[in-house]
Amino acid sequence: EPEALEAAFQAKVDAEQRIEPKDWMPEKYRQTLIRQMSQHAHSEVVGMLPEGNWLTRAPSLKRKAILMAKIQDEGGHGLYLYSAAETLGISRDEMFEQLHSGKAKYSTIFNYPTLSWADIGAIGWLVDGAAIVNQIALCRCSYGPYARAMIRICKEESFHQRQGYEIMMTMAQGTKEQREMAQDALNRWWWPTLMMFGPHDRESAHSGQSMKWKIKRQSNDDLRQKFIDATVPQAEFLGLRIPDDKLKWNEERGHYDFGEIDWEEFRSVVNGNGLCNRERLQARVDAHDGGRWVREAALAHAAKKEARKVE
């Protein structure tokens, strides 16, 4: 009786019990998680590309070592998330196929170019800062493997956020040119960062059901507001100006008011027409094709070892 199963499932979710891979779950719950978790995994992996652009040009050996470690963390996050998504019955190859064919999305934010070293600071501070706000909520996701992956990922993200803020701090306290670079990076990354939280709640196709299933714990608009409230004082401390004339503390609401996002730009980037969409996707396809011989060699090696065991 599917209705009884579904009611029992919802009761379990309502009682704050985690859903585990072998538990019964509605097919749509499974599909929603596969969609969100694979998009999340793809974002981590594609997210390595804009920062990778600055590895060879980091201003010191120390900065380079830190950036390298941070980018490797992002790759690791992608791997945890692919593994967690595999528990839902989809294979990694299928997920890659969906990314490479353009069927699966990844976050719009990674389709913007990194034009100066200050962008590396802005990404850590703003992009990873926004990712944390979103992912703290996901630590309480009803699906066990996703929630547990998020706990570790959030710990690493907070290190990333701090390293970004420290770069911004160094530049904001530097020469006039460095301050200008920091301000320019903030100008370019601010609005795209706000788009990471997704469309307004009233436009969000999946929010209603995802909130009911406790996949999402807080709405897109609530998380965006939370991020803005936390970040404005950080910008003030840096002596930088957030590029929004409407940004203003609202005493009554106890939140900052802010201007409207350019949703036309958001839609355009989601639909593949951002500044770097083609380049990013091509880089992933090339990496996958270029790594084929490694995968084949690993499989051949494993088969040989297995054959030796049998004898």
Binding interface with ligand ACO (CB under 6 A):
35-36, 39-40, 43-44, 47, 105, 107-108, 131, 134, 195-199, 204-207, 210, 216, 220, 270
- Give least dist CB 126 to ligand ACO, A: 11
> Burial code of 17-40, b = ≥16 C-beta within 10 A, e = fewer?
ebbeeeeebeeebbebbbbbbbbb
Cβ distance to ligand ACO smaller for residue 44 or 86: 44
Are 67 and 126 a contacting pair, CB within 8 Å?
A: no
Cβ distance to ligand ACO smaller for residue 164 or 198: 198
Cβ distance to ligand ACO smaller for residue 46 or 240: 46
Amino acid identity, position 247: L
- Give least dist CB 119 to ligand ACO, A: 15
- Give least dist CB 246 to ligand ACO, A: 21
Determine whether 207 is exposed, middle or buried from the number of CB atoms within 10 Å of its CB (0-12, 13-18, 19+): buried
- Give least dist CB 239 to ligand ACO, A: 26
- Give least dist CB 219 to ligand ACO, A: 9
- Give least dist CB 35 to ligand ACO, A: 5
Q: How far apart are CA 263 and CA 191, in angstroms?
A: 10
Nearest to 214 by CA among 71, 1, 9: 9
- Give least dist CB 175 to ligand ACO, A: 30
Cβ distance to ligand ACO smaller for residue 114 or 210: 210
Cβ distance to ligand ACO smaller for residue 137 or 180: 137
Cβ distance to ligand ACO smaller for residue 35 or 162: 35
Tokens 């992996």 label which residue? 45
CA dist list (Å): 223 to 22, 133, 214, 269: 31, 7, 15, 21
Cβ distance to ligand ACO smaller for residue 64 or 105: 105
Tokens 């920062």 label which residue? 51
Phi-psi sector, 240: left (phi>0), alpha (psi -120 to 50), beta:
beta
Determine whether 229 is exposed, middle or buried from the number of CB atoms within 10 Å of its CB (0-12, 13-18, 19+): middle
